[in-house]
Amino acid sequence: MRASNAVKALTLAVSVAWIAGCSSPSTLSEDDSSMGGSATGSSSNTYGTGDASGVSGMGTDGNLDVANLKTVFYFDFDDSTVRADSVADLEAHAQYLASHPSASIRLEGHADERGTREYNMALGERRAKAIERFLAVNGVSGAQVETISYGEEKPVVLGSGDGSWSQNRRVELKYVSR
Amino acid sequence: MKKWFISAFLMMMAVTARADLVVEVTQGVDAPTPIAVVPFQATGLALNEDIAQIVSDDLGRSGFFKPMNRSNMLGTPSTEEQVFFRDWRVSGNDYMVIGRVAPAANGQVQASVELYDVLKERKVWSETVTGNSNNLRDVAHYISDQVFEKLTGLKGAFSTRIVYVTAKMNTPGNFTYKLQMADSDGARPRTILQSKEPILSPAWSQDGSKLAYVSFESSRPAIYVQELATGQRQKVQTFRGLNGSPAWSPDGSRLALVLSKDGNPEVYILTLATGQLDRVTHHYGIDTEPTWAPDGQSILFTSDRAGLPQIYSLNLPTRELKRLTYEGKYNSRGRLTQDGRFLTMVHQDGSGFHIAVQDLKTNRLDILTSSSLDESPTIAPNGSIIMYATKKGGKGVLAGVSLDGRVRFTMPNGDGDVREPAWSPYLQ
């Protein structure tokens, strides 16, 4: 049950990344290696060589194309721990940001509808900050990251039940400048 | 009467806590008082509001009364001479209200109202109320307040207002949010603020003249104070991170609020005139949702310092901290009755998030709802009803429950999801 939710979440995340302004005409495919908690230590190799992990479409300058990375990261209920299935893409974003000091991002934290609104504002912030800390540990300067929480106020999916809730418990990573 | 009534409700809670109908008055030790509000006679006037029906609905919704169904009335007397008390006694009424509306000077209308004790066949109260033909609802609510007060000894809360937030998804990710105000029965809604970005946590000042609320219109959350009469508003000092949960001190001079500028969400008190900011909590957990005790000497707030959210009370002069909620793993968003005796909150159990009320004298907790996505309880200024936000048919709606759980109702539905109700204090 959990795995199929992760598949749905991953598919959604990839679609959201695609719709959210990906300008590159490259094809997207699901990065299977990041599911089921098997975080590869050498994710930089994945993007540099265009290998079987399936992420293709490098930018013309030869650097990794952040437009192909996940930009939505999901969380477990009442939790703000960065999940294993977020690690690979976050490390890639971190690598990009660390090597492009003028690039900056906004992390938007969200919670599902259950519980009270202002507490959920705080939960959304906790999640955004957890991602921010992860990026900082991976070399990103605080000056490049802005965090904001929307609590339960901006769901991507209306409706109740685990299917909707799991898609709303998220942090969205948005590039303000590349 | 109030203390007797409250101890009676405690006895009834086990029986009625699980009922979940739209408008339900159940029988119990303290049965609601049967009353007949007879349609008013209108001479020489075409009225755009049915005053008697509004009064009848007000009294029924309060939980204290069981109004007679108009279709069961055998006659519609409008003067004392026309009343045959025996008929009204036989049809089960303890009290009845009759009235006549006539034109008055300056294009106004006059409603002459009389309240009778059916059993004693005696007039309890009468008054002639003057109003404008376009604010007959206010005339009706005034009458409801008087009848309520004469028969219960409590001040009526029918002439109060509610504010709430509506949200409508236009396209995925594209919303319209509105802050609206309506009468306490949901009638005459009007928009105070409209935005493409979220609005939340509206809070009334104790004198009813201002609202504080959180708006994301500047692309970050900020707290605004708006004067209702003029519409003028001011953004209070805004900091990096969260700015939320404004709560007015009883004297209106300060706002308790939540900021995360010092690393994590903490409760602060802002003195509005000077801008002075006092930090009130110092814990790495989430401290949020502050509310003031009626004497202004302590602040209650939600904290997850023990793992999951519970409600705590901080005495401001001594800074002594006391945990208030021990039952259940999640208790948040506390609000006190005006006498400080009862605390309503959102309480999670195995079946979801419910509205609950705790007697702070005995610490007994009663769960008032069986719906599972309840939030934002707000209490009428006379402590009779808790209004809250819930979901019905997948849509956000407002609902009400009396403090003893006997009477429940759902508010008329607006466009989009409705949430975050805040009940006004008594208004002039």
Greatest CA separation found in chain B?
73
Q: How confident is the model at residue B278, as a pLDDT?
A: 97
Nearest to B375 among A116, A126, A153 (CB): A116
Any chain A CB within 8 A of the CB of B163? no
User: Could you tell me if A77 and A165 are in contact, meaning their C-beta atoms sit under 8 angstroms apart?
Assistant: yes
Is a pLDDT exceeding 80 seen at residue A52?
A: no
Per-domain boundaries in chain B: 2-152, 161-423
Nearest to B288 among A78, A122, A153 (CB): A122
Lowest mean pLDDT among A31-35, A60-64, A149-153, B84-88: A31-35
pLDDT tens for B26-71 read 333 367 899 999 999 998 788 999 999 999 999 998 888 999 999 9
Nearest to B200 among A115, A122, A153 (CB): A153
pLDDT bin (cut points 50, 70, 90) of residue B416 is: confident
User: Could you tell me if B355 and B346 are in contact, meaning their C-beta atoms sit under 8 angstroms apart?
Assistant: yes
Q: How confident is the model at residue B53, as a pLDDT?
A: 96
Q: How confident is the model at residue B2, as a pLDDT?
A: 56
How much of chain A is in helix, strand and coil states, percent to nearest 5?
Answer: 45, 15, 40
Q: B35: helix, coil or strand? A: strand
Any chain A CB within 8 A of the CB of B286? yes
Is a pLDDT exceeding 50 seen at residue B194?
A: yes
pLDDT bin (cut points 50, 70, 90) of residue B428 is: confident
Name residue B381's amino acid: P
Is residue B103 exposed (0-12), middle (13-18) or buried (19+ Cβ within 10 Å)?
A: middle
Question: The whole model's pTM is what?
Answer: 0.83
Name residue B10's amino acid: L
Report the DSSP pairing between strands B395-402 and B385-392. antiparallel
Lowest mean pLDDT among A6-20, A57-71, B141-155: A6-20
Structure tokens at B329: 């793993």
Which residue is closest to A157 within chain B, CA to CA? B172
* Closest to B211 measured CA to CA, from B424, B414, B381, B379: B424
Mean pLDDT of all residues in B198-224: 97
Is a pLDDT exceeding 90 seen at residue A11?
A: no
Is a pLDDT exceeding 90 seen at residue A42?
A: no
Contact residues, chain A, for B420 at CB < 8 Å: 117
Mean pLDDT of all residues in B266-282: 97
pLDDT bin (cut points 50, 70, 90) of residue B425 is: very high
Q: How confident is the model at residue B172, as a pLDDT?
A: 83
How many Å is the Cα radius of gyration of chain A?
Answer: 16
Q: How confident is the model at residue B317, as a pLDDT?
A: 97
Report the residue of B375, B397, B418, B419 to disrupt the A interface, i.e. the one with the largest count of A CBs within 10 Å: B375
Mean pLDDT of all residues in B367-387: 95
Structure tokens at B424: 């006004």
pLDDT bin (cut points 50, 70, 90) of residue A59 is: very low
Contact residues, chain A, for B245 at CB < 8 Å: 118
Any chain A CB within 8 A of the CB of B309? yes
pLDDT bin (cut points 50, 70, 90) of residue B276 is: very high
Q: How confident is the model at residue B373, as a pLDDT?
A: 95
pLDDT tens for A77-90 read 989 999 999 999 99
Q: Strands (DSSP E) along A81-155, which ranges?
A: 104-110, 145-151
A156: alpha, beta or left? (left if phi > 0; alpha if psi -120 to 50) = alpha
Any chain A CB within 8 A of the CB of B257? no
CATH superfamily of B161-423: TolB, C-terminal domain (2.120.10.30)
Greatest CA separation found in chain A?
47
Is a pLDDT exceeding 60 seen at residue B255?
A: yes
Q: Distance between CA B57 and CA B186 in Å, rounded?
A: 12
Contact residues, chain B, for A153 at CB < 8 Å: 167, 198, 200, 216
User: In chain A, pLDDT over 90 holds for what percent of residues?
Assistant: 59
| B189-196, Cβ contacts within 8 angstroms, sequence gap of 24 or more | B189/B414, B192/B163, B192/B226, B192/B228, B192/B231, B193/B226
Phi, then psi, of B168 in degrees rounded to 5: -130, 130
Please name the residues in contact with B230: beta carbons below 8 A apart, sequence gap of 6 or more. Answer: none
Q: How confident is the model at residue A78, as a pLDDT?
A: 85
Q: Are B2-152 and B161-423 in the same CATH fold?
A: no
pLDDT bin (cut points 50, 70, 90) of residue A62 is: very low
Lowest mean pLDDT among A35-39, B144-148, B238-242, B328-332: A35-39
Q: How confident is the model at residue A39, as a pLDDT?
A: 36
- Averaged confidence pLDDT in chain B: 91
Is a pLDDT exceeding 90 seen at residue B415?
A: no
Mean pLDDT of all residues in B325-343: 96
Is a pLDDT exceeding 80 seen at residue A60?
A: no
**C-alpha count within 13 angstroms, C-beta hemisphere, residue A140:** 24
Cβ separation of B394 and A160 shorter than 8 Å?
yes
Is a pLDDT exceeding 60 seen at residue A54?
A: no
Minimal CA separation from B328 to chain A, in Å: 14
Lowest mean pLDDT among A59-68, B121-130, B224-233: A59-68
Q: How confident is the model at residue A32, as a pLDDT?
A: 35
Cβ separation of B173 and A156 shorter than 8 Å?
yes
Report the residue of B175, B219, B242, B376 to disrupt the A interface, i.e. the one with the largest count of A CBs within 10 Å: B242
Any chain A CB within 8 A of the CB of B393? no
Q: Distance between CA B192 and CA B422 in Å, rounded?
A: 14
Is a pLDDT exceeding 70 seen at residue B173?
A: yes
Q: How confident is the model at residue B45, as a pLDDT?
A: 84
Per-residue burial over B124-161, b = 16 or more CB atoms within 10 Å of its CB, e = otherwise: bbeeebebebeebbbbbbbbbbbbbeebbebebbbbbb
Q: How confident is the model at residue B404, as a pLDDT?
A: 85
Assigned architecture for domain B2-152: 3-Layer(aba) Sandwich (3.40)
Which residue is closest to A112 within chain B, CA to CA? B373
* Closest to B427 measured CA to CA, from B163, B214, B190, B165: B163
Q: How confident is the model at residue B156, as a pLDDT?
A: 95
> If you write DSSP's letter for every residue of B336-395 in order, what string do you get?
E-TTS-EEEEEEEETTEEEEEEEETTT--EEE----SB-EEEEE-TTSSEEEEEEEETTE
